[in-house]
Amino acid sequence: MQIAILGAGTGGYVAAIRAAQSGAAVTLVEQGPIGGTCLNWGCIPSKIFKQSADTLAAIRTAGEFAVAADPAARCDMAALVARKERIIAIQAGGIRNLLQKHGVRVVAGSGRISAMHRLSVTATTGEEMKIAWDRLIVATGSRPAPIAAFPFDSHRILSSDDIFSLQSIPESLAIVGGGVIGCELACIFAGLGSRVTLIEAMDRILPLPSVDEECSKLLLREMKKRKIRVLTGATVLAAKLSGERLELRVGPAGAAPYGGPQQESCDKLLVCIGREPNSAGIGLERIGVDCDARGWIVADSQLRTSNPAVYAIGDILGPARIMLAHVAATEGEIAAANCLGDSREMAYDHVPGAIFTMPEIATVGLTETEAAARGYQFRADTVHFRTLGKAHVIGEIAGFAKIVADQRSGRIIGVQIAGPHATDLIAEAVLAMRSGTTVAQLAETIHAHPTLAEIMVETAFKAIDRPLHG
């Protein structure tokens, strides 16, 4: 079996390794750097920058822990970018070694479908190549969506790809879009020292069905503490360069009352309004692979497209699925197995969401709103981190955990955590939901003390009307 894969992001390289492990002859084609968006411009760079912002925060608050430190500590942006590049190089090298170990043929170049069972590749060397395939996996991903009125210039008007290559910290940064990426970068750059204004068209930040409104409210409060200006129900109508600064005209978006229009001024404008598919120009139409009106590939639960020999994984499936790196990795495993004759289906019921704001937010399953919409008889119980000794020890008491449980069975159907290390803590909730654990069983599970993980058992006790501290 010959399997060709377009795109060496998280989904693509995982699919390549799994297919090769199962005995397939695999060719992986990538026109950009190995690792795709997650490694090069998304998950990893943002966490590297966040670690520096967190370190600065720790230095500035060191006095609370009886430690003398320089409260005027600053981040060396050029050194931070260099650190980012070193870490990415190490990670990319590890991926290349894994691909080589498993016998995956990696072709650096631009690939397109020329005919059924054929790829044409223009290699980075200039060589034209033909690659045969029995099964094709499309993992070409997505890119930041621009605003037509003021497109990206990678200097003043930035995408989320551009922001991690800046050589200096912007004195002032305006961010259009209060979704996951916009909120994460607002927290990071405020932590690094920028004056940040976040502009969101909806009536709340993180306006996602999967995010409980209480999480949005908590994050808003914490952003204000960090002197991040947040404008909701607002949009940028125009942006023009005036000297060395951008002048923005901000007006109402219609989602909520807004006292504009007004002028805003900033050094840099970061646009985080969503993603666009990398589906054009790769020849999908030649072999009957259907896309929706926006260009996202349409696939079934087995990740098979309208052409039964072609599969699609990762961001190229669009927001109809879940555009996260760990989802793409699982989709890659399933697509690889199905290319070789399996019939596995991709399930999205227990996918953790991880938002690396300050504080972090993590989710799995249903919110209260979603549970009500689906007709569940449920109860929702909340315990705050300030009840935990460990939270006081580390000086991070803002936040809570909420468990949504089915009243009839006691099974956990959703968990929302906002607070310190929420993105790590959510793993227990995912396992609990996958295994059908009830709140009573979770309450009976001994947790180490003093730990942040106790938030789960404390909330479970509250859910069975036996609260200890919450």
pLDDT (tens digit, 9 = 90+) per residue, 409-455? Answer: 999 999 999 999 999 999 999 999 999 999 999 999 999 999 999 99
pLDDT above 60 (res 13): yes
The mean per-residue pLDDT over the stretch 379-393 comes to 98
Catalytic site residue from 155, 392, 449, 469: 449
**Over 90: is that where the pLDDT of 337 sits?**
yes
Tell me the pLDDT band of 99, cut-offs 50, 70 and 90. very high
Question: Are domains 2-143+276-339 and 157-273 of this chain identical in fold?
Answer: yes
In whole numbers, what is the pLDDT of the chain averaged over residues?
Answer: 96
As a whole number, mean pLDDT of residues 91-99 equals 98
- List CB contacts of 314: < 8 A, sequence separation 6 or more: 7, 9, 10, 11, 12, 139, 141, 323, 327, 328, 331, 332
Strands across the sheet with 360-365, in order?
A: 353-355, 360-365, 412-419, 400-406, 378-384
Beta bridge partners of 132: 118
Q: Which of 261, 257, 245, 266 is nearest to 176 (CA)?
A: 266
**What CATH number does the domain located at 157-273 have?**
3.50.50.60
Overall size of the chain counted in residues: 470
Q: CATH fold of 359-463, please?
A: Enolase-like; domain 1 (3.30.390)
Query: In the chain, where are the structural domains located?
Result: 2-143+276-339, 157-273, 359-463
Question: Is residue 449 annotated as part of the catalytic site, yes or no?
Answer: yes
Tell me the CATH number for domain 2-143+276-339. 3.50.50.60
Confidence (pTM):
0.95
The pLDDT assigned to 20 comes to 98
pLDDT score, position 262: 85
Separation CA 331–CA 300 (nearest Å): 12
Predicted local distance difference test score (pLDDT) of residue 260: 62
Average confidence (pLDDT) over 266-285: 97
Q: Which residues of 111-120 are buried (b: 16+ CB within 10 A; e: fewer)?
A: bbbeeebbbb
pLDDT at 257 over 60: no
Closest CA to 315 of 305, 329, 302, 304: 329
pLDDT bracket for residue 458 (50, 70, 90) = very high
State the average pLDDT over residues 151-164: 96
